[in-house]
Chains A and B, each alone.
Chain A
Amino acid sequence: MGRPQRRRPFPRSKVCRFCADSSLRMDYKEPNILRVFVTERGKIIPRRISGNCAKHQRQLTTAIKRARNIALLPFTVPRR
């Protein structure tokens, strides 16, 4: 019963959220904002899914990496 098209285009948010909302600050000291852009396992969500623009994604990765360094975000979340 295989439907031929199994890879349907995932619904991606079209606009960069940092561009759309200038009040949304990207800062390594704000783990609660950064946490939205990280998977449950602690990986950074790729741009093609989060919809961020290149500029903000770049800033985001550095912010997340800094936050990891000072233990505000995990490097990994181990499986139970």
Chain B
Amino acid sequence: MRRYESVVILDPEVPDDDIAAFTAKYGELIKSSGGEIIKIEDWGYKRLAYLIKKKERGRYILFDFVGIPSLIDELERQFKISEDVLKFLSVKLDDEVDLEAFKSKPEEEATEPAPPTSESPEESATEASASTPEAPSAESAEPPAEAAAEAAQPDTPTEAPEEAKGDAGTTPEGTPSEEAAPAQETVKEGE
């Protein structure tokens, strides 16, 4: 048995009733193949980073479950058939999972599987996902040096990189992080 995680993006126009039916249907599918659902999360509506089927928004559903590899084939086959599914991504979290452990204590599932493989990054990160806010405000609230410099830079000398590549050349990506004198740099470049 393996532990998987599937993120499914649904059409935003699908009514809530159908969402419930959708999760129930796939929950049933997982169970019928001998798997077990650990959790199903509804992230609500999110703005997509790019258009999918000409939609700007999508509804995100996360399935966290245990199952056999062929279950994924079946699950993805059905996702592909479904009209409501815009896109999906399935990720394997863990290779060997003791199914009984989840069945016996369903409350602790989030913390339980961490000990065996501490190397796997997604493993421990699963429970943190629910709290993600939709607004990207955290990005501006993250002050650390190079990120701030990165953000501030590209507005002013947009034409600089091409010139810089032309004669200085060596570090095209190096420029963004020098926050000291980007303006001087461009002037010098121009002369």
A interface with B by C-beta (< 8 Å): 1-3, 6-8, 10-13, 17, 25-33, 35-37, 39-41, 45-46, 48-51, 59, 63, 66, 68-75
Contact = CB atoms under 8 A, between A and B. Distances in A.
A26 B126 CA distance: 10
Contacts, number: 113
B81 interface: no
Interface residues of B, number: 46
Given A17-B144, A30-B129, 18 more contacts: A2-B188, A6-B188, A7-B170, A10-B178, A12-B177, A13-B144, A25-B124, A26-B121, A27-B128, A29-B132, A30-B128, A32-B132, A32-B136, A36-B144, A39-B176, A48-B174, A70-B89, A72-B46
Contacts of B125: 25-27, 29-30
Q: Is the interface of B mostly helix, strand, loop or mixed?
A: mixed
Interface in B164-180: 168, 170-171, 173-179
Interface of B: 7, 9, 46, 48-50, 52, 58, 60, 62, 87-89, 91, 121-122, 124-126, 128-129, 132-133, 136, 138-139, 142, 144-147, 150-151, 154, 168, 170-171, 173-179, 188, 191
Nearest to B49: A74
A10 B121 contact: no
Contact of A13 (B129, B145, B154, B171): B145
Given A25-B125, A29-B129, A31-B132, A36 B49 contact: no
Residue from B7, B154, B178, B188 with most neighbouring chain A CB atoms (10 Å): B7
